[in-house]
Amino acid sequence: MIKLKYILFFAFLLFSLQTWSQPKKSTNNYVLVVQCGTANSVEELFMSYSEQMYRKKINEALAKGANILQQGGSSVEAVEQVLMILENSPMFNAGKGSAFNYYGVNEMEACLMNGRNQQVGAVSGVTNIRNPIRAARLVLEKSNYTLLHGEGASAFSERYGSKLINKSYFFAGERWDDLLRYKKAIKKKQKISIRGDAIGCVALDKKGNLAAGTSSGGLTNRSYHSVGATSIAGAATYANNMTCAVSCTGNESFMSRYTVAADLSALIEYKNFSLTKAADYLIKIKLKQAGVQGGLIALNRTGEIAIVHNTPIMMYAFLKADGQKEIVITKKTIK
């Protein structure tokens, strides 16, 4: 009789935990948030592209994601498709617009995380995959791994239908010029500021599921084929239905050291911080005190949004099911 009581108790406990972690019933609510990196000045941001060009491309990406979510598509699909549009543009440091490393090669990385079950897919050091975020989704859904690197990531992606492309596709004149300017400045022992941030997206779908994704072309002139924070789950990307979905941009080394994305979730789960309070603490206090520049976008299952940065500029946009929409390119006030 005592054994039966224990069995019933643990069965009830297991059922309760599963129910708590499962998404709420389907609603008409959905939210999409995008970030396209930070900048220290308007001159730096508009060196090659105008505000109108940025706004048009970001709006295109928002429309694609909104259409998916409106039709009942998953947050994972929406995040992937939004980032693919941005990756296909040379305007952003991801995909076609990726920075050149020390060896004159574009090495890209991406990470995608499903908040419903914390499944993760990521790739790093890829040089011939048109859409790294697509490869990350393949890793998430078609493998038991979380991160694949270099040639292995390419082979896996090709096995599951991705066509590998010639590396010349990624050549963007302005990014090559960035590399030359960087090398020249190093020789003269001068300081130089070149944008090398990531792009990211977080989404909430009608089933109440969260997802987050981040994609990056890495830092200009980076060497030794180093792996950045973008491909490391918990550093720049994290998603958990119980807490939030978050994508970070900024200094990659410090995003890894401070595990910023996972820290945001932990502050909510263990410290009972609100989404905004946790984001403000990490970006405007913890990272700023450490001298680290960066920003993040975050979202929870109630549809609450946090957009925080400690740099003069961060490009971002959001769209909600009720029609609220905003695209910010050059607003200098630090939110």
Q: Which tens digits make up the pLDDT trace of 253-268?
A: 788 899 999 999 999 9
Question: Quick one: pLDDT at residue 12?
Answer: 45
| CB neighbourhood size of 15 (10 A) | 10
Question: Does residue 226 surpass a pLDDT of 60?
Answer: yes
Q: What is the mean pLDDT of residues 176-203?
A: 86
State the average pLDDT for the chain.
90
Written as one string, the DSSP assignment of 4-46 is: HHHHHHHHHHHHHHHHHHSPPSP-S--EEEEEEEEES-HHHHT
**Which helix or strand (DSSP H or E) is residue 318 part of?**
strand 313-320
Question: Quick one: pLDDT at residue 196?
Answer: 67
**Residue-wise burial string across 291-307, b where 16 or more C-beta atoms lie within 10 A, e elsewhere:** ebbbbbbbbbbeeebbb
Confidence bin at 240 (pLDDT 50/70/90): very high
Question: Quick one: pLDDT at residue 21?
Answer: 45
CB distance 194 to 182 below 8 Å = yes
Cα–Cα distance for residue pair 307/275, rounded to 1 Å: 10
Find the angle CA(263)-CA(268)-CA(269) to the nearest 5 degrees: 95
Cα–Cα distance for residue pair 8/312, rounded to 1 Å: 57
CB distance 198 to 295 below 8 Å = no
Q: Which class would CATH give 26-328? A: alpha beta
CB distance 108 to 126 below 8 Å = yes
* Residue reference for tokens 């409106």: 70
Q: What is the mean pLDDT of residues 141-161?
A: 97
Residue 196, classed as helix, strand or coil, is coil
**Which helix or strand (DSSP H or E) is residue 180 part of?**
helix 173-187
- Which tens digits make up the pLDDT trace of 20-43? 444 445 568 999 999 999 988 888
Confidence bin at 237 (pLDDT 50/70/90): very high
Question: Global pTM?
Answer: 0.90
Phi, psi of 334, deg, nearest 5: -85, 120
Q: How far is CA 297 from CA 33, 213, 237, 312, in A?
A: 7, 11, 10, 16
**Which helix or strand (DSSP H or E) is residue 147 part of?**
strand 147-149
Question: Does residue 335 surpass a pLDDT of 50?
Answer: no
Q: What is the mean pLDDT of residues 96-110?
A: 95
- Looking at per-residue confidence, does 252 or 89 come out higher? 89
Question: Quick one: pLDDT at residue 129?
Answer: 97
Tokens, residue 88:
């296909």
Question: Does residue 45 surpass a pLDDT of 80?
Answer: yes
| CB neighbourhood size of 96 (10 A) | 21
Written as one string, the DSSP assignment of 211-257 is: EEEEEE---TT--TT---GGGSBTTTEEEETTTEEEEEEE-HHHHHH
Confidence bin at 251 (pLDDT 50/70/90): confident
Q: What is the mean pLDDT of residues 1-9?
A: 49
Question: Quick one: pLDDT at residue 18?
Answer: 44
- Looking at per-residue confidence, does 13 or 291 come out higher? 291
Cα–Cα distance for residue pair 129/287, rounded to 1 Å: 33
Q: What is the mean pLDDT of residues 140-147?
A: 97
Q: H/E/C letters for each residue in 71-87?
A: CCCCHHHHHHHHHHHHH
Residue 158, classed as helix, strand or coil, is helix
Question: Does residue 68 surpass a pLDDT of 70?
Answer: yes
